[in-house]
Structure 1
Amino acid sequence: MRFARFGVPGSETPVVESEGRHFDLSSVTPTIDPAFFATHAADDFAAVRAALAEGTLPAFDASGQRRGAPLDRPGKIVCIGVNYSDHAAESNLAVPTEPVVFMKDPSTIVGPDDEVLIPLNSTKTDWEIELGVVIGQTARYLASPDDADAVIAGYVVSHDVSEREFQLERGGQWDKGKSCETFNPLGPVLVTRDEVGDPQNLRLRLSVNGVERQDGSTADMIFGIRHIVWYLSQFMVLRPGDLINTGTPAGVALGIEGTPYLRAGDVVELSIDGLGEMTNKFADASATSPASAPASPTTLEGAAR
């Protein structure tokens, strides 16, 4: 199955795609969030499958609608750095002997076509296409990488936008170069594990203003997806709806001498085999909140009341 969300930020309609058509999931769940996965992923989304088979879900017209991020407000975003050997080489970084782990603010998630803001005082905003892994069941001290598949709900295209000066030149942890507002466009769909086939054989592509910058394969990961999920479970509890960004292949601005970093007006296009495409236009940040910014949980709760 393929899950998506359509509509204005903070009020998206949850949708499931089946045989090229969209169906409204509102009768099953108010959104595609950690609670949805905690309730439905353990039995392979049986309620959704049954509703589709019985024809009880109303058709949804997605034409002209904004595409929201298919995952709403994950509990955490865990990122793996330097996970492709070609990216390590271009960045003059040693190939790690264990996964490099850092966290990213979950509120950075925006839709697959939403505007991305270049932070104030930024001169090195960079692109990174990544395969996103969405957790479906709690993973705590998994015995081996072979146990990882059972806790994975599905996969998604993730854009791990990074500010390299903030990340690497300003001291401290990487998080502050990764957690600027709008820095994680996601989508357009979340594809369940059973439909993806081999996640270690997916092609990732990214272009900037029509010029191809990244063309890699998940086959070239230093640490594979199963290893990453198992490894992380030894240090933290992975919960339903958590997102893991699994690293980026070569071709980022940081690694190519003379390649300009992103500026206002630049357009970045991304795709992963079987997971869809997204396009992000970049703009300068200001003191005003972006129109595409999702509402905070507090705002949403207030609106509900």
Structure 2
Amino acid sequence: MCRVPGPTLADIARAAEVSTATVSHALNGTGRVGEATRRRVRETATRLGYGTPGPPRTRTLGIAVTTFPAAWNYTDIAYFSRAVTAATSAAHARGYALVTLPADRAADDSWHSLAVDGMLIMDSPRGDPMVRALRARGIPLVFDGVPGDPRPGDHWVDNDHESAVREVLDHLVASGARRVALQSGSGDEHYAHAVTAAYERWCADRATPPLVVPFDPADDEGHAFDVLLRDAENRVDAVHAAYDPGGRQLLAAAARHGLRVPDDLRVVCASEDPAYARTTPPVTTVTLSPEQMARAAVAVLVALIEDDGTAPSGPVSVPAGLIVRASSNPRPTQPV
């Protein structure tokens, strides 16, 4: 089922007498490239057989997280670790190897020659250089989460963040909360925007002002919450943290302010970390179902590679889940 690898962008660049960057722009429809040059590059690519459909060349899939350009070990994060493990299993079950790429490769020219039949990209931001390079090569792509630069015909797997956020907020209100804040990311990834927008719409429905705290992964003591917790009269009584460390940050902030969780402050955190079941008190978490997300993404990717007609025509939605623990369930008031 293997075939001889086709031409690379460098091969096309040499044949068309342009730079590799010009080839990437011409094939991807980006950048400032004259129409004559764009046409010459595309004709050269066609003549050399670039992107010609055929059976898988390597029986290998790639997976990477490209949200942040700097080097970081995303497999230290429970969500990504579990997703990578599930994606590996799903790939093996279909006869493919899966290669996990380091995050800092997103700015590396090696994307132009990476030997994979398809790529699963997690949390792709706008202007993702890896996506541009792989699109130009005609490599099938599937995204975990809505890509920063979606195009007609793109394939992705994502949660219904609107429903998930509303479930959390309604749960907190049902537990007695009256002033609910959100800790959300300030980055460019779709997840942060989707969660924040869902929270703001929920607040608008209730005619209450939104209270959003920016997420800081280095804020171990939760000092970002001080402004919401120090004033007893205007203090919030519940927070939904959209990122993994947020639950521990909130527990630390509550302890510094002498607040009891959940009686004074209810806490919910989006996390796949099982250790939250052992904190004091155990923290209610939202699972984004990384295993189900990864299995669904690999299934779509293999369908695209093999062109077997089973790839869905639109995005695939995977439900999130609320795991209720003591941090959001105040003890009932005892009768006097």
Question: Which TM-score band applies after superposition, normalised by the shorter structure?
Answer: under 0.3
Asked which structure has the greater RCO (Cα within 8 Å, sep 6+), the reply is: 1
Higher helix proportion? 2
Query: TM-score, normalised on structure 2?
Result: 0.23
TM-score (norm 1): 0.25
